[in-house]
């Protein structure tokens, strides 16, 4: 039997509330679970102590028995210091989308045109001033 430590959703529509549970991986998300290990309330501010509460001793016991945490729960456990932090790499996340890249290229082209026009204007003004000075 594969045990997962995962979130089971509760609460009303648009007011989510999650229980952190140890459950058989074949059971539904909000269905039968083996043990309730904690709670997670995403509506509270991130710095609130009430946002995530876990019985860390029981979580450690389940991890020793071979339970695997889901990605979101593993991030919570890393923040609590139970698991070592994994290095995650998503290089495409930092890239802007195609339309944003096109807008940036257009903006750079306009800036280059404005810079070349600005360089040409002072040069013309200098030559005109030099011509007036010689007259």
* pLDDT tens digits, one per residue of 12-22: 999 999 999 99
* Residue 133 or 114, more confident: 114
Q: What secondary structure, in 3-state letters, does the chain show?
A: CCEEEEEEEEEECCEEEEEEEEEECCCCCCCCCCEEEEEECCCCCCCCCCCEEECHHHHHHHHHCCCEECHHHHHHHHHHCCCCCCCCCCCCCCCCCHHHHHHHHHHHHHHHHHHHHHHHHHHHHHHHHHHHHHC
Task: Pull the structure tokens for residue 100.
Answer: 């944003």
Q: Which CATH architecture has domain 3-80?
A: 2-Layer Sandwich (3.30)
For residue 121, what pLDDT band results from cuts at 50, 70 and 90?
low
* 0.85 exceeded by pTM: no
Indicate the average pLDDT of the chain.
Answer: 87
Q: Cα-flanking dihedrals φ and ψ of residue 108, to 5°?
A: -65, -40
Rounded distance between C-alpha atoms, residue 89 and residue 11, angstroms = 33
CB 23 within 8 A of CB 6: yes
Q: Map tokens 């995403």 to a residue.
A: 42
pLDDT at residue 120, as a whole number: 72
CA 113 to chain CA centroid, nearest Å: 37
pLDDT tens, residue by residue, 89-98: 878 877 888 8
pLDDT at residue 128, as a whole number: 59
For residue 122, what pLDDT band results from cuts at 50, 70 and 90?
low
């Amino acid at each position: 039997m594969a045990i997962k430590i995962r979130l089971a959703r509760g609460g009303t529509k648009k007011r989510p509330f999650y229980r952190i549970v140890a459950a058989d991986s074949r059971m539904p998300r909000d269905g039968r679970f083996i043990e309730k290990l904690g709670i997670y309330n995403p509506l509270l501010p991130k710095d609130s102590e009430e946002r995530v509460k876990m019985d860390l001793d029981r979580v450690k016991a389940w991890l020793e028995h071979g339970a695997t945490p889901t990605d979101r729960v593993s991030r919570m456990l890393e923040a609590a210091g139970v698991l070592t932090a994994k290095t995650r790499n998503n290089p495409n996340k930092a890239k802007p989308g195609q339309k944003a890249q096109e807008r940036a290229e257009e903006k750079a082209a306009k800036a280059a045109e404005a810079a070349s026009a600005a360089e040409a204007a002072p040069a013309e003004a200098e030559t005109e001033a030099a011509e007036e000075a010689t007259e």
